Amino acid sequence: MKARAHVRISGYVQGVFFRYHTRELAQRLGLQGWVRNTPDDRVEAVFEGEKEAVERMLEFCRRGPSGARVTDVETKWEQPHGEFSGFEVRYGR
């Protein structure tokens, strides 16, 4: 079953390669979507793909890479759109 999650991750999550590790894992899990830093020092991402893979990605987001200190993950479940053709890091805030 396909799923889509839009997340905002708070804590010490910028400057610790969060986006890089997110992209690497998302690609390994076969997910589509994007990840970016936000002006309020959070990381925002959209994950779309098989529900089990999206849930595994959310598990990673709750802990982050080594060096990160995640304090909160806001998750909004949405209807899958099928609009992505891969997983990318978006730049610019």
CATH number reported for the structural domain that contains residue 66 in this entry:
3.30.70.100
69 inside domain = yes
Sequence-distant (≥ 6) Cβ neighbours of residue 26 within 8 angstroms: 33, 35, 47, 57, 87
89 inside domain = no
61 inside domain = yes
32 inside domain = yes
Amino acid 33 reads G
86 inside domain = no
Its domain, for residue 54, covers 2-79
How many domains does the chain fold into? 1
Q: Which positions are catalytic?
A: 19, 37
Tell the burial category of 50 from Cβ atoms under 10 Å away from its Cβ (0-12, 13-18, 19+). middle
Query: Please, are residues 14 and 41 in contact by the beta-carbon 8 Å criterion?
Result: yes
Kindly tell me if the per-residue pLDDT of 93 is higher than 90: no
Task: Note the pLDDT tens digit of each residue in 12-49.
Answer: 999 999 999 999 999 999 999 999 999 999 999 999 99
